[in-house]
Structure 1
């Protein structure tokens, strides 16, 4: 099933609530920049083999019918938005219904492949015209972090329940694989695949009967439930009131409230000593300036001999450095204050600021592409129910683009996901010095040895 948002695409600009969506409601007017954006898109279409359809059946450049397709309903608005704010404008233009695609993931996968080559080297200076810095108000300080989390995770538990499986796991599953390594993903097998992911992480942290476990980032409680069912005691930290409420209710319903405590607490305020620390796709919300504090917290609360197991989305180190500090459409509308790390950055941060070291890592990016596909298909199929919860078409198109954009990132290999083990290296054994002996006198020629 491919994503086609055509039912939400108006024949004429639909009314947009300017209070909720000011930058979607307002079409900028930047003729010179729009002309540059048009020429750049034509160049990308030729080089990447994209089909750009204009109103009336015209094509921006010649292209085969089967090529990944960008269908422009309102080209002028599209080019002016991109000319004004680059990829943020690209996303806002989709929210506004200026463009569409019969296969959004195929189009975005092509654009996510080697994205650094989309703009020619000699024109990189153009980025200064539209790239903005991240707002200081979204930096994930202790004061700002709760607001950032609230904007995404407190949208509505009912919304997430519409497209997640019954475990309410909002992170990559681990599916069984075919002989060639292809994930065998299906909606019917998603809950089991989520449990497989959780159990692998708990095994990595050696969570067992009697283990004291700290979870950084509760989600809706499934990992805490699995750990408690093993006989562990769990303290789970979240900044989402919606998640805390539902997680507590799920834990109580399972009869495990005596083993799990869900605290509304910033990770930096964690207290206690734990045999295991686990954290699933939470580091992405921490923000690069606070990675040292995140890892230092884990180091501080981890008992001697303890193990920390993280699941983290990662990206290539060079791309992480290039995008660090840049305000993107995802940050503006989906995950304010976030930053996807590289595996190198995790190694460097732990080495510089903690006694922990990366002891093992296992990547499974294709499984995330399939997890996102299943979520996207479910979300799209239930668009009417999303609307019944009070979310307007601009929001629905925003989330369709977010899910498809994320799926494309993993399908293209631009993004990866890892399960990472952090441990303290064993102290090196000190070898006893050899006994000091008087050197033997040198033997002359002919003397027996």
Structure 2
């Protein structure tokens, strides 16, 4: 790939030296022209303001509307033409555009994601959208590699924006409260209640995180086995569990869910299924069914998207796959229900928490912006990438394009 200097871009080469994915191929005048036309068409009626260095303004937003400032328009449209939505995110990473309210700016885009491209051109998206690379498949080996790329980045990074419980999933705020730590404990209690976890429960947790759920379940009197394939989280969770004096009640295993064995009264998994991948959803639910005793209860917390959008995006490779969650794939509610039913599991309860994720992500983004200067070795591109990631997700939940649910499931299989 050859890096070139565009007329209004004097900083592309240094950025690309540190982040090869941001290197620009030779400009394609047709793609850049088409990207600019589509962008102008898309934003003309949006409640945003797009400001060019020349002073030109686009959008229907008035005073107080989110502002997108194009720093290097030619580079922005070039990236957009070459990479579509991936290019949009890469442009923010590279500083081609800025905003003081990226979540507010991205929300109208998320609300219109299915219609941003005019109908006559939608059939061409299969040639524009990148295909998911084979090396991101969630095989037993591939899943460890994918998880390592996200969760093993740095304990300090996650500590910079999570609350003291180190809980990396949607919180559940009590009415009138904005306390993130309390909301995370409320969420954990909710998922444990759905699974009927109490004194003497044999509990399996798929996806340990930093150990907060396992610790809370053990304090209820449960005997917990928790699985993780993240090296950093395995070590951190073991330390936290030891510090809590709960070694005898909690067993932490560095093990893929597919290799789990035993029989459990309850299984819980909080926002881990997003990393399973669509080709392995049947095996994931079958594993839960296999490990649960007859009549046992499971509880999942899962981020979802509309079913039609899930079908339309299966197999595509997005900005979030390339830079944040390789191998990830969100389910829809029907996909959860169908895969569960195929494994002999019935969905008995469903609790929606989508708007709580807006607040959770807003907390995380503000904390990250406050603490990012204290993170050693964090370069500006990574900082913009992580800010864009948190804003991108917040916008999806604000728009209602994304949702998150707690699902209660029961194993209706016959005794073995």
Q: Under TM normalisation by the shorter chain, which class is it?
A: over 0.9
Are 1:104 and 2:94 counterparts? no
**1:397 match:** 384
Question: What do you get for the CA RMSD once the two structures are aligned?
Answer: 1.7
Within-5 A mapping of 1:62-211: 64-178=62-176, 184-185=177-178, 189-211=179-201
Asked if structure 1 preserves the Cα contact closer than 8 Å seen for 2:47 and 2:59, the reply is: no
The match for 2:5 is: none
8 Å Cα contact 1:228-1:234 kept in structure 2: yes
- Structure of greater Rg: 1
Pick the aligned partner of 1:423 from 392, 395, 410. 410
1:382 matched residue in structure 2: 371
Are 1:337 and 2:327 an aligned pair?
yes
What runs of 5+ residues in structure 1 fail to find an aligned partner?
A: 1-9, 179-183, 428-449
Superposed, 1:45-64 pairs within 5 Å as 45-60=43-58, 64=62
Q: Distance in 1 between matches of 2:49 and 2:82?
A: 23
Please point out which of 395, 398, 412 is paired with 2:399. Answer: 412
Equivalent pair of 2:44/2:58 in contact (CA under 8 Å)? no
Instruction: Determine whether 1:373 maps to 2:365.
Output: no
The 1-side partners of 2:293 and 2:268 are apart by 13
Which segment drifts farther, 335-344 or 67-76? 67-76
1:402: Cα distance to partner? 0.2
Instruction: Say if 2:357 and 2:397, in contact at 8 Å, map to a contact too.
Output: yes
The answer on whether the counterparts of 1:44 and 1:50 sit within 8 Å (CA) in structure 2 is no
Partner of 2:292: 302
Structure 1 pair 325/20, CA: closer, same or farther in 2 (3 Å)? farther
Q: How far apart in 1 are the matches of 2:304 and 2:365? A: 21
User: Given the two structures, how large is their TM-score scaled by the length of structure 2?
Assistant: 0.94
| CA apart distance, 1:331 | 0.6
Give the Cα separation in 1 of the matches to 2:122 and 2:306: 20
Give the superposition deviation at 1:17: 5.3
How big is the shift at 1:67?
3.1
CA distance in 2, matches of 1:154, 1:282: 15
1:227 match: secondary structure: helix
The Cα shift of 1:350 comes to: 1.6
User: Could you give the per-residue CA deviations for residues 296-355 of structure 1, whole angstroms, max 9, x where no partner exists?
Assistant: 000000012210001110111111111111100001110000100001001111222x11
- State the match for 2:230 in structure 1: 240
Q: 1:46, 1:75 → 2: CA distance?
A: 16
Q: In 2, are the aligned partners of 1:28 and 1:81 still within 8 Å (CA)?
A: no
**What is residue 313 of structure 2 aligned with on the other side?**
323
User: 5+ unaligned residues in a row in structure 2: which ranges?
Assistant: 1-7
The answer to whether the 8 Å contact 1:25/1:96 transfers is no
**Corresponding pairs, count:** 407
**Secondary structure of 1:377's partner?**
helix
Distance 2:348 2:407 in 1: 8
